Structure 1
Amino acid sequence: MNKVSLVTTLMRVVLGILFIAHGYSKFQMGLGNVSAWFESAGTPGFLAYIAGPLELFGGILLVIGLFTRYVSALFIIMLIGAIVTMKWSLGLLGSGGTTGYELDLAYLMLTVYLMAAGSTQLSVDHILFGRGKQS
């Protein structure tokens, strides 16, 4: 395994862990409460019932490296939606003690990279589909 593959694997696993943490926290708060928070921010509440499971289960799939490109594509859609609907008005760095979209932008760039790069040798994708990348 070369350096790029190793770094790509580390990025995929760490990003997966971060999404698991975000999804888990949504379940801990209760998706109904997250839905109410989304609505208070002007975002349709039903999206909480999509975002929570996507973050949790999509994060797990990233950690093991299964369907990496497809999961990354879903995260790209979710992150663009989060930036546009909930974070854009706060600015890049936020204001008044609220966070901006800088972290979402970093996550977005990582998921764009993972969608383009596909999986590495240390992934279930490689075991199932071979050649290190999904076709």
Structure 2
Amino acid sequence: MINDKTAPLAGLLLRVSLGILFLAHVALKLFVFTVPGFVGYFASLGLPAVAAYLTIALELFGGIALILGVYAPWVALPLALEMLGTVLLVHGKNGWMFTNKGGGWEYPAFWAVTLVVLFLLGDGAYALRPAKRSA
């Protein structure tokens, strides 16, 4: 049974924590790997440079949208697809455990699931622009 009194707070906690994680994730790309380094990494995977820039934009603006609660459930879906993409293109070959060399697929798979949960749960409390959903 869903607790109607605490579910909005659960959505808020999930939404904000996911948003913070994405901002930390994009900060790693910008300040540690650098944009040229990240673009080069995408090229090493056979992906076009534009995909690296789109990933950075998705994580930056998606993270902000999640924290603020701006259409958060709809923002969560492309972010979940991105995480599934990292499982398929990057981490899947490294095994299950994220502590494996190169990082396994455990963490991005869990991240994708939590984003789908947010999509199903909704915006949570204190969303600036709640997503309109039909009942």
Match of 1:26 among 12, 25, 29: 29
Match of 2:132 among 128, 131, 134: 134
Amino-acid identity (%): 26
Match of 1:60 among 57, 61, 64: 64
Match of 2:83 among 79, 85, 89: 79
Instruction: Give the secondary structure class of the aligned counterpart of 1:109.
Output: helix
Give the counterpart letter for 2:96 in structure 1. L
From the superposition, tell whether residues 11 and 111 of structure 1 become closer, same or farther in structure 2 (CA, over 3 Å): same
Q: Shift of residue 43 of structure 1?
A: 4.2
1:16 aligns with 2:19: yes
Runs of 4+ in 1 over 2 A off after TM superposition: 94-98
Q: Which residue of 1 aligns with 2:54?
A: 50
From the superposition, tell whether residues 95 and 107 of structure 1 become closer, same or farther in structure 2 (CA, over 3 Å): closer
Q: Shift of residue 95 of structure 1?
A: 7.1
Give the counterpart letter for 2:20 in structure 1. I
Give the counterpart letter for 2:63 in structure 1. G
Q: Which moved more, 1:88-97 or 1:53-62?
A: 88-97
Unmatched 5+ stretches in structure 1 = 127-132
Q: Deviations over 1:63-99 (max 9, x none)?
A: 0100112211110211111110111111111575331
Q: Which residue of 2 aligns with 1:98?
A: 102
Aligned residue pairs total 128
Match of 2:115 among 111, 114, 118: 111
Q: Deviations over 1:26-82 (max 9, x none)?
A: 122322210112223x24142211111111110000001001122111102111111
From the superposition, tell whether residues 10 and 35 of structure 1 become closer, same or farther in structure 2 (CA, over 3 Å): same
Instruction: Give the secondary structure class of the aligned counterpart of 1:44.
Output: coil
By relative contact order (CA 8 Å, sep 6+), the higher-ranking structure is 2
Unmatched 5+ stretches in structure 2 = none
Structure with the larger helix share: 1
Give the counterpart letter for 2:14 in structure 1. M
